[in-house]
Amino acid sequence: MSNHSPADASQGVQRKILTAYDMPETSEDISRRSFMAGATLTIGGIVGVILAIPIVGSLIPSGAGAKGTWSPLTTAEWNDLQKATDKPVKLEFSMKTKDAYLPEQTFGDYVWGVKVDPAKFKAARPDLPAKLPFSDGSYDVVNMSFVILSPICPHLGCRPIWSADANRFQCPCHGSQFDLDGAHLAGPAPRGMDPLPLREQSGVADVMWIRYRSSVPDRVILSYQS
C-alpha cells in the first residue's frame, strides 16, 4: 500500500498559468489591434511631413551670388491684374530651377498679384521698406501700383489660399492669415507675405521668383528660380 497522498502526487505536476496572450483572440481584439496599428502609421506619417518641411528648407542653399531671371506674364494675366480692384490675381508661369543639390528642372508655379494704392499699402505694410535687395541690386516693392506676393507662407513653407468670404489669405497648414496686402493678421507666421520683383519692359510685364527663408522675422534670400 502506498503512503503517498493525492496531494503528494500533484507536487510533481507543473501547472501552467494562462495569460492574456494564451487566450483565443476575438474579432473585437483583432479589430482593435488593426485600428491601433493604422493609427500609429497615420500619426507617424503626419509627424514625418511636419518635420520634413523645415528640414528640406534648411538644405536649400543660400542665394548669395546667385542670379535670378525674369519670367513674363501673359497678356491675359497682365490685363487681369490691371483690372483687379479688391482681390488678388493668380499669375501662373513656367520656371526653371537649379541649385547646388538638384539638377535643373522645369515646372509650373504661380504668384499673387495685387493692385494697390501706394500710400495705403505703405501704411498697411510698415514691415516693408520701399525697396528690397535682390540679384540685380534692389527692386521696388510697389511698382506701377502693383505688388507681387510670393505664394509661400513665411512660417513653414505651405501655401496660403485666398478666401473671398473671409477677404484674406488663409494658410491651410497652421492657420496663419494675411490681408489683401499680405500683412500678417494671425497665426504663427513670423512676418507678412513676401513681395517679389516686378518690371515692365516694351509692354511686357515680368516677375522674378525668390525663395526666402521660413520661420524667421527677417527676409533672408535662399535661392532664385527662373
List the chain pLDDT tens, one digit each, 226 residues: 545 555 554 455 555 555 554 555 556 655 666 666 565 666 665 555 454 444 444 444 444 456 778 888 888 888 888 888 889 999 987 665 555 556 666 667 899 999 999 999 999 999 999 999 998 899 999 999 999 999 999 999 899 999 999 999 999 999 999 999 999 999 999 999 999 999 988 888 999 989 999 999 999 999 887 5
Rg of the chain over all Cα atoms, to the nearest angstrom: 30
Residue 77 main-chain phi, psi, to 5 deg: -65, -40
| Rounded Cα–Cα distance for residues 72 and 30 (Å) | 59
Contact 113, 84 (CB under 8 A): yes
**pLDDT of amino acid 31:** 63
Domain edges within the chain = 71-225
How far from 31 is each of 36, 37, 44, 48, CA to CA, in Å? 9, 10, 20, 26
Q: Which residues contact 45 (CB under 8 A, 6 or more apart)?
A: none
Report the number of secondary-structure helices (H) and strands (E) in the chain: 4, 15
- Reading the block at residue 196, the C-alpha cell is 517679389
**pLDDT of amino acid 60:** 43
**pLDDT of amino acid 195:** 96
**pLDDT of amino acid 46:** 59
What CATH number does domain 71-225 carry, 3.90.1150.10, 2.102.10.10, 3.50.50.60, 3.30.360.10? Answer: 2.102.10.10
pTM (2 d.p.): 0.67
| Rounded Cα–Cα distance for residues 218 and 80 (Å) | 31
Q: Which residues contact 178 (CB under 8 A, 6 or more apart)?
A: 160, 168, 169, 184, 185, 189, 192, 193
Pairing of β 89-97 and β 105-115: antiparallel
**pLDDT of amino acid 223:** 87
**pLDDT of amino acid 92:** 85
**pLDDT of amino acid 64:** 47
